[in-house]
Amino acid sequence: MEELGWLGILGRMALRFVPVWAGLALILGLGWRARARLGPAGRLFGSWAGLSGLTLVLFWVLTALFADLIATHDPLAQLSGLKNAVPGSPAPGSSYPVYLLGGDSLARDCFSRMVVGARRVLAIAPAATLCALAVGMLLGLPAGFVGGRLDAALSFLANLVLAFPVILLFYLLVTPEIRQTALPRTVAAVLFLMPLLFLVLLWHSRFRTRAGPWALGLAAILGPGLWIWAGLALDADPSGLWRLEPGLLTVFVAVVFVNAPTAFRIVRGLALDLRHRDYVAAARTRGEGPWFIMLWEILPNARGPLIVDACLRVGYTTILLGTLGFFGLGVSPESPDWGSTINDGRRFLAIYPHAAVVPALALLSLVLGLNLLADALRTEARHD
């Protein structure tokens, strides 16, 4: 088989992405039809930035979802003779006749690595963002709402972490040596407890006056919650369903750790701004407790900026994961995540740029999509 030209490559790639196109058409079509009923989310369809951001993000989400269908090769398999092969090189005797975007320095298929890498990134980044936001809310709400010494202490801690250059922190936290210590597990145990604690407080403050729903809800939260927590953080799930390999755990913890203080600052600022509203005073005068006020009166009004922040933060986390990979601190050396792949590819950058450019552009388009989305959401909120 001949080496493919660029048209051929693009055509074949488009064909591989058919499940994604179908998904995109379905979701965007339904969203468009229902846009009038979707509120602010629906108005995204009316703005150029919102629509393109949404499309880009959905594209990568669907790619991550259907990665197995789209990938042409095993992302770890090496084919002899295809070392640094240019895009469109024929790959005889494998699961697909061409290396669509060429081979890397270990003769693996760049296209498949990009596709599977999306799954990696989109599994970690949103989860880490949610975790960081939970930490940010749990500490930022009281800091802003109560203020005083509590605020001073928490803010000092946050500034402490913020004063660390991110890369230094990574070099200190994500080394093989650190993995041998109990540090990652301990930090993970604390960090992962936060989302759980958040849900418990949410339920408790709302239903403390009604014993029935209160007990039922807490049982429903704590049962599975503690199980997942024990599995992920302590590696103590007997069934083995919830488990994080140590490398991934360390990376996850590091990323959450870096994100949490900025999330804290944002939530604190919002709480500080909202705590003097009359409806907060009204809640206090009818005898509500502080957690009810923070979680049920203040938080719902902060959700707009928080959603925007979450979008930006997923993008930022993606960048951070890439940074980790770039310095060889990623999950594992041969992992197909985009940062590690860029790191592998940059050695031959001047001669065979494709191995690094492909994941670089992938990462760029995902982050761009998220930022466009955030921008559109913010504009929507402002014009409301």
Residue 89 CB-half CA count within 13 A: 23
Q: CB count, 10 Å around CB of 303?
A: 12
Contacts 24+ apart (CB under 8 A), 37-41: 40/304, 40/377, 40/380, 40/381, 40/384
Residue 10 near another protein by CB under 8 A: no
CB of 222 to another protein, least distance (A): 24
Shortest Å, Cβ 360 to another protein: 4
Handedness of CA 267, 270, 276, 281 (dihedral sign): negative
Closest distance of CB 218 from another protein, Å: 19
What secondary structure letter does DSSP report for 4?
A: P
Nearer to another protein, 233 or 342 (CB): 342
Tokens of 140: 């930022």
d(CA 275, CA 280): 6
Q: What is the DSSP string of 202-219?
A: HHHHHHTT-HHHHHHHHH
54, 71, 367, 377: residue in contact with another protein (rule CB under 8 A): 367
Contacts of 307 (CB under 8 A, 6+ apart): 377
Among 13, 38, 76, 178, indicate the residue that binds another protein (CB under 8 A): 178
Residue 364 as a binder of another protein (CB under 8 A): the answer is: yes
Q: Pick between residue 62 and residue 174 the one whose CB is nearest to another protein.
A: 174
Q: Measure CA 271 to chain center.
A: 24
Which CB, 1 or 211, lies closer to another protein?
211
Q: C-beta of 258: minimal distance to another protein in Å? A: 11
Q: Which of 128, 191, 363, 377 binds another protein (CB under 8 A)?
A: 363
Q: Distance between terminal CA atoms of the chain?
A: 58
Q: Which of 110, 310, 339, 344 binds another protein (CB under 8 A)?
A: 339
CA–CA dist 239, 253 (Å, integer): 23
Cβ-based nearer residue to another protein, 241 or 350: 350
Q: Count the residues of the shown chain that bind another protein, applying the rule CB under 8 A.
A: 68
Residue 289 interacting with another protein (CB under 8 A): yes
Which residue in 322, 336, 377, 380 binds another protein (CB under 8 A)?
Answer: 322
Let me know how many helices (H) and strands (E) the chain has, helices first.
17, 2
CA distance 274 to 268: 10
* Rounded Cα–Cα distance for residues 229 and 247 (Å): 17
By CB atoms closer than 10 A (0-12, 13-18, 19+), residue 339 is buried
Give the residue with the Cβ less far from another protein, 38 or 167: 167
Sites for another protein among residues 206-235 (CB under 8 A): 209-210
Q: Is 371 in the site for another protein (CB under 8 A)?
A: yes
The pattern of x and - marking residues 128 through 167 that bind another protein according to CB under 8 A reads ----------------------------x--xx-xxxxxx
CA-wise closest residue to 109 among 123, 124, 94: 94
Is the Cβ of residue 35 or residue 346 nearer to another protein in the bound state?
346
- Is residue 173 within the footprint of another protein (CB under 8 A)? yes
Q: Which stretch binds another protein (CB under 8 A): 27-35, 215-223, 247-255, 359-367?
A: 359-367
Tokens, residue 197: 């604690």
Q: Which residues bind another protein (CB under 8 A)?
A: 48-49, 156, 159-160, 162-168, 171-173, 175, 177-178, 180-181, 183, 209-210, 277-279, 281-290, 297, 300-301, 303, 315, 319, 322-323, 326-327, 339, 342, 345-346, 349-354, 356-357, 360-361, 363-364, 367-368, 370-372, 375
